[in-house]
């Protein structure tokens, strides 16, 4: 993938120095006061911004109302749509970002301080998702239709007044990136590694948990996407979620911990490669994806566990 000169993002992130200084004064993970920020990467996650039109089903005796709404679909084709739907309201006014001032590691085999993840499929593939799902809804019998519609609402953030029968079609599809900071924490006397994904380092615990899906996703399958005949849900026996645990003697009064924990891992580098990624949504082309691939480790590395490296 050639690096584009500009990309569209939903919002800017605070600068690295501010993030490091703020995280140094907080305790976010189960590692407690011993936690140390080992690595910090700016990750640009790709999404398809899909605008669609529909007529409401409410008050049909007095006429319906035509409305437009926006759904964010996973640009990695990795079934993270439900987590991504929470960002749809803030994606209506994208900002252009010039990539020239960021270290994407283009001249090194390891990750840069910024990571731009590749889009999978095409805009036509993304435009076909909602219409095909609604076609599946109409094929449901009366006993399963309501459950199917509820799952559609949860997966794609459909408005409460959305009426499948009033769906008028997709109006536009744009490519957009959601930037996050992905922080990796170690502790001097522990082999545990905990990753935390965030956008604002000053955010409270509840806000941080909204973004925990990214750290959990990377922790669940850090070795990369595998070239198999069908994509299965990533699993890792050594990766666990640390969300909701309590940190002893936190450095601030926000003592609840967040993050995805990986035990007995201390990798020092990751390199990028490209592999075939069989999608679950059957796009028209065979997409490829950047892959998190562990290289050497300074301590024993269990299968399926890997942190990020400093670029």
- Residue-level pLDDT at 257: 60
pLDDT at 162 over 60: yes
Phi first, then psi, for residue 234 (nearest 5°) are -60, 140
- Structure token digits, residue 114: 């910024």
- What is Dmax (Cα atoms) for the chain? 70
- Check residue 62 and give its pLDDT: 61
Please, are residues 80 and 212 in contact by the beta-carbon 8 Å criterion? no
Q: Are 73 and 81 in contact (CB under 8 A)?
A: yes
Residue 178 φ then ψ, to 5°: -105, 115
Answer for the pair 209, 258: CB distance below 8 angstroms, yes or no. yes
Task: Convert the pLDDT of each residue in 21-60 to its tens digit.
Answer: 999 999 999 999 999 999 999 999 999 999 999 998 765 5
Strands 95-98 and 239-241: unpaired
Q: How far apart are CA 212 and CA 191, in angstroms?
A: 21
Indicate the DSSP class of residue 230.
Answer: S
Across 56-70, 82-96, 103-117, least confident range: 56-70
Cβ(216)–Cβ(233) under 8 Å?
A: no
Task: Kindly indicate the confidence band of residue 261, based on its pLDDT and cuts at 50, 70 and 90.
Answer: low
The four Cα atoms 279, 281, 286, 290 give a dihedral, to 10 degrees, of -40
* Gap between the terminal Cα atoms of the chain: 18
What does the pLDDT read at residue 222?
58
Q: What is the DSSP letter of 176?
A: E
More confident residue, 308 or 117: 117
Structure token pair of residue 10: 């939903």
What DSSP element (H or E) covers 276? strand 274-276
- Mean pLDDT over each residue of the chain, to the nearest integer: 74
User: Using only C-alpha atoms, what is the Rg of the chain?
Assistant: 21
Neighbours of 286 (CB within 10 A): 11
For residue 72, list its beta bridge partners: 49
Q: What is the pLDDT of residues 60-87, one digit of tens each?
A: 556 678 899 999 999 999 999 999 999 9
| CA proximity to 47, closest of 156, 145, 144 | 156
Q: What is the pLDDT of residues 183-199, one digit of tens each?
A: 999 999 888 899 999 99
pLDDT above 60: residue 234: no
Residue 259 — pLDDT band, cuts 50, 70, 90?
low
- Alpha-carbon distance of 24 to 270, in angstroms, equals 24
Which residue in the block uniquely carries the two structure tokens 């840069």? 112
Q: Is the pTM of this model over 0.85?
A: no
Beta-strand ranges (E) seen in 129-282 are 167-187, 190-198, 239-241, 260-262, 270-271, 274-276
Nearest to 230 by CA among 279, 287, 289: 279
User: Rounded distance, CA 252 to CA 28, Å?
Assistant: 9
**How far is it, in rounded angstroms, from Cα 258 to Cα 222?**
18
Beta strands in 133-241 (DSSP E): 167-187, 190-198, 239-241
Pull the structure tokens for residue 103. 């270290």
């Amino acid at each position: 993938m050639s690096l584009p000169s500009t990309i569209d993002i939903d919002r800017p992130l605070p600068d690295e120095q501010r993030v490091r200084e703020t995280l140094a004064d907080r305790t976010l993970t189960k590692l407690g006061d011993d936690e140390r920020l080992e690595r910090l990467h700016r990750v640009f996650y790709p999404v398809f911004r899909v605008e669609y039109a529909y007529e409401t089903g409410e008050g049909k005796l007095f006429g319906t109302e035509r409305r437009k709404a926006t759904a964010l679909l996973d640009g990695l084709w990795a079934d993270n749509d439900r987590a991504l739907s929470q960002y749809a309201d803030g994606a209506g006014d994208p900002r252009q970002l010039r990539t020239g001032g960021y270290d994407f590691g283009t001249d090194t085999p390891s990750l840069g301080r910024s990571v731009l993840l590749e889009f999978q499929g095409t805009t036509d593939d993304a435009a076909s998702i909602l219409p095909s799902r609604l076609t599946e809804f109409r094929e449901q019998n009366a006993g399963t239709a309501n459950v199917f519609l509820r799952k559609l609402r949860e997966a794609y953030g459909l408005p409460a007044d959305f009426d499948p029968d009033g769906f008028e079609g997709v109006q536009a599809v744009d490519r957009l990136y959601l930037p996050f900071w992905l922080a990796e924490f170690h502790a001097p006397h522990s082999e545990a590694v905990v990753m935390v994904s965030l956008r604002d380092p000053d955010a409270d615990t509840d806000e941080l948990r909204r973004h925990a899906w990214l750290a959990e996703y990377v922790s669940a399958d850090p070795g990369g996407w595998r070239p198999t005949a069908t994509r299965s849900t990533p699993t890792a026996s050594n990766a666990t979620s640390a969300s909701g645990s309590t940190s002893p003697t936190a450095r601030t009064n926000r003592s609840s911990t967040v993050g995805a924990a990986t035990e007995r891992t201390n990798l020092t580098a990751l390199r990028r490669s490209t592999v075939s990624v069989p999608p679950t949504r059957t796009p028209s082309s065979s997409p490829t994806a950047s892959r998190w691939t562990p290289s050497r480790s300074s301590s024993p590395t269990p299968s399926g566990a890997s942190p990020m490296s400093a670029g």
